[in-house]
Amino acid sequence: MPRGRGAPLDGRARPAGPARVDLHTHTRRSDGVAEPRDLVAQAVGAGVTLLAVTDHDTLAGVREILAGGGVPAGLELVPGVEINTVAAIPDLPDGELHLLGLGVDPDDERFEAVLAGQRALRAARFEGMARRLRETGTPVDAELADLDRTATPALGRPTLARALVRAGHAADVGDAFARLVGRGAPAYLPRDGIGPAVAIRAIREAGGLAVLAHFSEAPRRLAIVDELRAAGLGGLEVHYRAFDRATVEALATVAAARRLVATGGSDYHGDEGPYAVAHAELAVPDDVAAPVREALAAARALRASRPAATVPR
């Protein structure tokens, strides 16, 4: 589900004033609930000045925002994406590692081809899980009948979970994940898709910074971090909204030791209410912004310095 990957919020240190940096958000173009421009307006209203829109496997929302000068004055928008990669690693939750691609070129055709392949696999999984819900007596066909697949090109389990709530099969999204669409539940199907090394390469070739998202296990699984770093990982999401103080400090130590840029974000989807609700729990220090900007500039320069390459399938 959208949240719940970190420790409880108890004991988390908060910076003075509202967070001005949020590098992990979702819109209706994947599994969020807000229209892209509505999310931008809400983030600006909450005081955010550096925002990344990171929908799953699509840059459609970013393109909408950029079209027609949709970025308000005073806001720096970072084009981004979140890729759920399949990793053959023992004891890994859902068998996945999530990678943020920050600063990718929304017009990169090779990168778009990679994302299109991911979206096709998402759609197949989505339909398979909907079929399983039907077969196990908790159908959501009526609730999905009016789903605009064009407006939501990157379908995911949160969409099914919300449909289950509307159908009366679950009390809320968390309940739907726990009993019906989460790992090990009756309708669950494992993900198919690219591996983390392929995703990192694709992000870098699109001029972006590859960041390992909401991986609270990083301090205990340094071999994974080191393997990804060798593949080109450039950042680690340290200031994640659901992480407590101890988790943030441990991740910050890993990031510093591995020379990874520390990022932070809300992972806003919208199931808990408007953006302001998530932002109230967000603690990203202002000093995150400068190293991120430097890393994004370096990623763009690296891309410009090398010949075009083909991302392997």
C-alpha to C-alpha distance for 298 and 189, rounded to whole angstroms = 39
User: Does position 307 have pLDDT exceeding 80, yes or no?
Assistant: no
Distance set, CA 293 to CA 87, 135, 143, 148, 296 (Å):
29, 49, 42, 35, 5
Provide the pLDDT confidence category of residue 4 given band limits of 50, 70 and 90: very low
Compute the chain's Rg from CA coordinates: 18
In sequence order, what are the residues at sequence separation of 6 or more whose Cβ sits closer than 8 angstroms to the Cβ of residue 291? 261, 262
Of the two residues 9 and 123, the one the predictor is more confident about is 123
Sheet holding 261-265, edge to edge: 21-22, 50-53, 76-86, 96-102, 209-212, 235-240, 261-265
User: Does position 309 have pLDDT exceeding 70, yes or no?
Assistant: no
C-alpha to C-alpha distance for 237 and 40, rounded to whole angstroms = 21
* Count of C-beta atoms within a 10 Å radius of residue 63: 15
108 φ/ψ angles, rounded to the nearest 5 degrees: -75, 115
Mean pLDDT of 11-16: 53
Domains of the chain (ranges plus CATH)?
A: 21-305 (3.20.20.140)
Q: What is the pLDDT of residues 128-183, one digit of tens each?
A: 999 999 999 999 999 999 888 777 777 888 889 989 999 999 999 999 999 999 98
User: What is the pLDDT, as a whole number, of residue 150?
Assistant: 77
- In the chain, the percentage of residues whose pLDDT exceeds 70 is 93
User: What is the pLDDT, as a whole number, of residue 3?
Assistant: 42
Distance set, CA 202 to CA 120, 264, 303 (Å):
17, 22, 11
28 neighbors 152 (Cβ within 8 angstroms):
yes
Q: 0.85 exceeded by the pTM?
A: yes
User: Does position 91 have pLDDT exceeding 60, yes or no?
Assistant: yes
Distance set, CA 299 to CA 106, 158, 206, 229 (Å):
14, 32, 9, 15
User: What is the pLDDT, as a whole number, of residue 154?
Assistant: 74
Residue 214 in tokens: 């909401």
Amino acid (one-letter) located at 9 = L
Q: What is the pLDDT of residues 208-254, one digit of tens each?
A: 999 999 999 999 999 999 999 999 999 999 999 999 999 999 999 99
